[in-house]
């Protein structure tokens, strides 16, 4: 993975701009046969063909309905149903006032009285957009265009009832855009590999933990740098890599156990091995039974692996039945060539050109399932936060898994498949679905 050097790009862009003269575009042509002026009004409006009852879901103006009447439905008939006309709109629509809390009941009464169609007067709000400058220029193309994050953030930013989230990784390095989101509980040895309270990343692959954590929850809406998927904070970096070395079964066992002791609700694991680890699988099963949602990267392959025509098998722990296995797609919704495949794959998320925080204090674009996984973990955090704030209890891991997989955008062959799992995680659906997420 090579960091994208923003400074070089900026300097290169400036050079190109100064090297190429900026010629103003010619004025628009207005042919003589096309006089300028307002558009001509249509002679006849198409009649509204809606019938029956609209959906009484989402936000709408309390005590108001929109009614499409039929000939013969008089004002007296409306008032006889406890409905007061307020305003005549176009195409035969009428805005009426009804007692608050009785919107749906009055709508049904109006249909019985002879109305053609009745629905709530829905409320529309501007979608939530963070003010982090790199969100608009670098992240919106995949976070919003693919996942519809702005509609999701309008429902929850993860700050209502923020769940404790663990990032089991190489540790953490300091970055100005990952301060408020970081949670370091006092007196806790977060470096389980070396047995101390300092989770500073001294691994052979320094910066991986910071990159993963920043995708999940960089300090957001702070007018600085990048945005995280969840704005809620409370991200615990649990260092499972030895100083200068790697992670092992024993360090991961200790990391998962520490997460359980801390009451972690979501654990992101962006690391893997080929094969199966029975000890770790049992530990993950206990964590899930205790209420922890485990999200893991499916794995990366740079060349065909053991006869596979593209990618390779899902790595462990993503292949564990206790984990949500996450593969990667590019910004055109195509499976990334390196992304692991297999029946264990559950979801995919953007994993190509993902903006991350890097140890130098800057930002870079990385690729890999390591960075698709924290996107899914962040969406899970938004869902859990909204669910807990509204219902006073955390959703179970089974509820979270069902919500995310059953609302995914199906890609590839119809239904679950080995390349995309259930499909692309869709944050907007996760935060609003009333069948699988908020029944």
Q: From 217, 104, 117, select the one nearest 167 (Cα to Cα).
A: 217
How far lies 402's CA from each of 283, 395, 407, 433, in Å? Answer: 22, 11, 8, 11
SS3 282: helix
SS3 152: helix
Angle, helices 397-406/369-391, rounded to nearest 10 degrees:
120
Which one from 138, 169, 177, 191 is the annotated catalytic residue? Answer: 169
Q: From 152, 245, 222, 160, select the one nearest 432 (Cα to Cα).
A: 152
Residue 354 in contact with residue 371, Cβ under 8 Å?
A: yes
Say whether 208 is catalytic.
yes
Q: Give the integer Cα–Cα distance in Å for 353 and 356.
A: 9
Q: Give the integer Cα–Cα distance in Å for 31 and 79.
A: 56
Residue 397 in contact with residue 288, Cβ under 8 Å?
A: yes
Q: Give the integer Cα–Cα distance in Å for 73 and 68.
A: 10
Q: Give the integer Cα–Cα distance in Å for 193 and 207.
A: 17
Cα 27 from chain centroid (whole Å): 43
Residue 224's CB: how many other CB atoms inside 10 A?
Answer: 15
Residue 180 in contact with residue 222, Cβ under 8 Å?
A: yes
Write the CB contacts of 421 (distance below 8 Å, at least 6 apart in sequence). 325, 327, 345, 346, 347, 348, 405, 408
Which one from 208, 219, 319, 385 is the annotated catalytic residue? Answer: 208
Q: What is the CA radius of gyration of the chain?
A: 26
Q: 307 — alpha (psi -120 to 50), left (phi > 0) or beta?
A: left
Residue 209 in contact with residue 201, Cβ under 8 Å?
A: yes
Say whether 175 is catalytic.
no
Say whether 373 is catalytic.
no
DSSP label at 51? Answer: -
Q: Give the integer Cα–Cα distance in Å for 231 and 44.
A: 50
Angle, helices 208-217/369-391, rounded to nearest 10 degrees:
40
Q: Catalogue the active-site residues.
A: 169, 208, 370
């Amino acid at each position: 993975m090579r960091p994208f050097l923003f400074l070089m790009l900026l300097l290169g862009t400036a050079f190109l701009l100064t090297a190429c003269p900026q010629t103003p575009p010619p004025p628009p042509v207005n042919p003589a046969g096309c006089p300028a002026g307002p558009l001509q009004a249509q002679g006849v409006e198409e009649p509204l063909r809606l019938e029956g009852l609209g959906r009484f879901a989402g936000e709408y103006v309390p005590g108001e309905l929109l009614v499409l009447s039929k000939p013969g439905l008089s004002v007296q008939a409306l008032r006889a149903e406890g409905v007061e006309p307020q305003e005549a709109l176009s195409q035969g629509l009428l805005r009426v006032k009804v007692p608050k809390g009785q919107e749906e009941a009055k709508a049904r009464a109006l249909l019985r009285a002879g109305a053609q169609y009745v629905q709530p007067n829905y409320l529309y709000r501007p979608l939530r957009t963070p003010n982090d400058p790199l969100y608009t220029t670098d992240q919106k193309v995949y976070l919003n265009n693919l996942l519809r994050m702005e509609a999701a953030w309008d429902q929850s930013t993860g700050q209502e009832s923020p769940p404790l989230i663990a990032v089991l990784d190489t540790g953490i390095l300091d970055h100005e855009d990952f301060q408020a989101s970081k949670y370091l509980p006092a007196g806790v040895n977060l470096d389980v590999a070396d047995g101390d309270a300092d989770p500073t990343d001294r691994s052979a692959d320094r910066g991986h933990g910071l990159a993963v954590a920043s995708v999940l929850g960089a300090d957001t809406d702070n007018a600085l740098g990048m945005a995280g998927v969840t704005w809620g904070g409370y991200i615990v970096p649990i260092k499972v890599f030895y100083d200068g070395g790697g992670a092992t079964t024993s360090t991961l066992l200790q990391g998962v156990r520490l997460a359980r002791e801390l009451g972690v609700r979501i654990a992101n694991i962006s690391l893997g091995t080929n094969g199966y680890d029975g000890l770790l699988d049992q530990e993950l099963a206990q964590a899930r039974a205790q209420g922890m949602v485990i999200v893991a990267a499916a794995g990366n392959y740079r060349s065909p692996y053991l006869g596979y025509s593209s990618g390779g098998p899902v790595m462990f722990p993503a292949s564990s039945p206790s984990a949500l296995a996450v593969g990667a797609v590019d910004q055109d919704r195509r499976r990334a060539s390196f992304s692991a495949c297999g029946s264990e794959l559950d979801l995919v998320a953007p994993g190509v050109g993902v903006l991350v925080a890097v140890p130098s204090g800057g930002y870079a674009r990385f690729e890999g399932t390591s960075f698709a996984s924290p996107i899914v973990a962040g969406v899970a955090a938004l869902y859990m936060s909204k669910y807990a704030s509204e219902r006073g209890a955390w959703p179970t891991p089974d509820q979270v898994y069902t919500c995310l997989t059953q609302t995914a955008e199906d890609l590839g062959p119809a239904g679950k498949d080995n390349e995309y799992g259930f499909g692309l995680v869709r944050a907007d659906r996760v935060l609003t679905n009333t069948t699988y997420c908020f029944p």
